[in-house]
Amino acid sequence: MHKLIVLFETPDNGRAVTYHNEQAFQSGWQKFLGLAEKMPGLRRETVSRVERVLFGKSEGGYVLLHELLFDSKEALEAAMQSPEGQAAGAYLQSFTGGRVVLLTAEHLEAGEEDFVKRNA
């Protein structure tokens, strides 16, 4: 599987963002969800509210991590190029004022049965 990862940055009063409070963010995010969920080939989504950044560069921090999962890299690319993907992307940029990070990644997952047990 492959995924599109969306990191929503914390609003900064010095930039033109349309969400300056939790209610405005929720409204904008819900509209983005409605658009993104129309992307062809979308198989699953995960959402995580960021509590804090423990380590690493984070100028203003992040409020939300949203992952959209697809069967393959090709399916992800096709979804992003589709009219639905383009509409979701355009709205995302407008709604966040560009205070968003987009990543693509291969999604790998291991369950407990896959862990290598080592004696310390």
What is the rounded CA–CA span in Å between residue 100 and residue 56? 17
Cβ neighbors of 74 (< 8 A, separation 6 or more) are none
Q: What's the CATH fold of domain 2-102?
A: Alpha-Beta Plaits (3.30.70)
Counts of helices then strands in the chain (DSSP H, E): 3, 4
Other C-beta atoms lying within 10 Å of the C-beta of residue 35: 18
Other C-beta atoms lying within 10 Å of the C-beta of residue 99: 21
pLDDT tens-digit series, residues 65-83: 999 999 999 999 999 999 9
pLDDT tens-digit series, residues 22-68: 777 888 889 999 999 999 999 999 999 888 888 877 666 788 899 99
This prediction has a pTM of: 0.84
116 versus 8: the higher-pLDDT residue is 8
